[in-house]
DNA sequence: ATTCATGCAAACAATTTGCACGATC
DNA sequence: GATCGTGCAAATTGTTTGCATGAAT
């Protein structure tokens, strides 16, 4: 993999952007500063980085693929109301990889966990509206 | 929600089909028997069912949304090689919902876990090919 | 010099939507 | 009979691809 300016910029931008950005968001942010960098390059490279493990791709919402530059094992929480995605840093339950491996014979490399529910902000809003 | 023949057929078909079918697959299966049922109806209703909790939607692979009619809490394993999706029935780790709730203040309803690795069939293949 | 990456625009795939008509309550 | 659901085709959205040119090794 060659070291191109584009790749550098893409990585920098994702890190600078709020986490869990979509390819489109990364492209827009880049485009503002570097109008010549194409969308195809952004898509291609985010994907390539993810494949190499330099980035993690997430398909948690219904919409677009999101990219996360935090490589350390962590989980995610998605608010059913506002669709916001939050990082969840609880103690990893790595032992379950082992469980699955033993029970099914799969070679388990990784696991991802997505929690769903209501975030504090939305919970507060609901209460406010239901007060009569 | 009204009881239409289409909805009945969609539910029946998903149950009959191998699990984790895409909307397109459900549509194709239905179309063979009932050519007048439209793709839009299949998409609309799978989505509606998922929203009501009569079905679970999965965004695990890069491609299309998949639907699962098994409502009991279970997890999934995706083979990195062949992209097949397997059900994983290990003891649910429900207590982690509690952990996240306490640590972050989220109201946690559910969690999903996706394991990734190599399935036995693909593992066997790799060994075969690397034997020299 | 060779090989790989980029930019552009066109192609694709999955999904959604507007609207007139038909079915369910 | 009023309302909600369906079918159709067209519109969107997210993403990928072919190809000629430019950049990195």
Question: How high is the pLDDT of residue B131?
Answer: 59
CB–CB contact B97 A115 (8 Å): yes
Rounded CA gap, B107 and A95, in Å? Answer: 25
- Could you tell me the domains of chain B? 1-69 (1.10.10.10), 72-132 (3.30.1490.190)
Mean pLDDT, range B43-68, rounded to an integer = 94
Question: How high is the pLDDT of residue A63?
Answer: 82
Calculate ∠ Cα A16-A17-A19, nearest 5°: 110
| B-chain residue closest to A79, CA distance | B106
CB–CB contact A120 B110 (8 Å): no
**Contact residues, chain B, for A61 at CB < 8 Å:** 59
pLDDT digits (tens, 9 = 90+) for B65-120: 999 999 999 999 999 989 999 999 999 999 999 999 999 999 999 999 999 999 99
What's the whole-model pTM score? 0.91
Query: Cβ of A82 under 8 Å from any chain B Cβ?
Result: no
Question: How high is the pLDDT of residue B44?
Answer: 98
The nucleotide closest to B5 (CA, C1' atoms):
C23
> Could you tell me the maximum CA-CA distance found in chain A, to the nearest angstrom?
62
Q: Of the given ranges (A67-71, A122-126, B74-78, B128-132), which has the lowest mean pLDDT?
A: B128-132
**Contact residues, chain B, for A94 at CB < 8 Å:** none
Q: Long-range contacts made by residues B10-17, C-beta under 8 angstroms, separation at least 24?
A: B10/B41, B10/B42, B10/B45, B10/B46, B10/B49, B11/B49, B11/B54, B11/B55, B11/B69, B14/B46, B14/B55, B14/B67, B14/B69, B15/B69
pLDDT digits (tens, 9 = 90+) for A20-58: 999 999 999 999 999 999 999 999 999 999 999 999 999
Question: How high is the pLDDT of residue A131?
Answer: 58
Residue A100 is inside which H or E element, if any?
helix A95-104
Q: Chain A window 10-29: which residues touch B at a Cβ cutoff of 8 Å?
A: none
Task: Out of B80, B107, B116, name the one closest to residue A117 (CB).
Answer: B107
C-beta of residue A14 within 8 angstroms of C-beta of residue A57: no
Residue B63: which pLDDT band, with cuts at 50, 70 and 90? confident
| B-chain residue closest to A109, CA distance | B117
| A-chain residue closest to B103, CA distance | A90
**Contact residues, chain A, for B110 at CB < 8 Å:** 115-117
Note the Cα B112 to chain centre separation in Å: 11
Question: How high is the pLDDT of residue A130?
Answer: 66
pLDDT digits (tens, 9 = 90+) for B24-36: 999 999 999 999 9
Residue B61: which pLDDT band, with cuts at 50, 70 and 90? confident
Chain A residues 10-29 within 7 Å (CB) of strand D: 22-24
Looking at the predicted structure, is the pLDDT value of residue A62 above 80? no
Instruction: For residue A57, list its beta bridge partners.
Output: A67
Residue B18: which pLDDT band, with cuts at 50, 70 and 90? confident
Burial bucket for residue B36 (CB in 10 Å: 0-12, 13-18, 19+): exposed
C-beta of residue B86 within 8 angstroms of C-beta of residue B77: yes
Looking at the predicted structure, is the pLDDT value of residue A95 above 80? yes
Query: Cβ of A100 under 8 Å from any chain B Cβ?
Result: yes
Q: Chain A window 29-68: which residues touch B at a Cβ cutoff of 8 Å?
A: 59-62, 65
> Is strand C within 7 Å of residue B5 (CB)?
yes
C-beta of residue A10 within 8 angstroms of C-beta of residue A38: no
């Amino acid at each position: 993999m060659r070291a191109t300016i584009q790749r550098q910029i893409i990585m920098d931008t994702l890190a600078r952007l709020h986490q869990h950005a979509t390819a489109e968001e990364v492209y827009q942010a880049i485009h503002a500063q570097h109008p010549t960098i194409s969308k195809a390059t952004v898509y291609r490279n985010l994907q390539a980085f993810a494949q190499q493990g330099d980035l993690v791709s997430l398909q948690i919402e219904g919409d677009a693929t999101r990219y996360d530059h935090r490589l350390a094992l962590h989980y995610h929480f998605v608010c059913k109301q506002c669709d916001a995605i939050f990082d969840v840093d609880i103690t990893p339950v790595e032992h379950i990889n082992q469980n699955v491996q033993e029970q099914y014979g799969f070679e388990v490399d990784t696991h991802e966990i997505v929690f769903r529910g209501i975030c504090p902000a939305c919970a507060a809003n609901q209460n406010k509206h239901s007060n009569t």
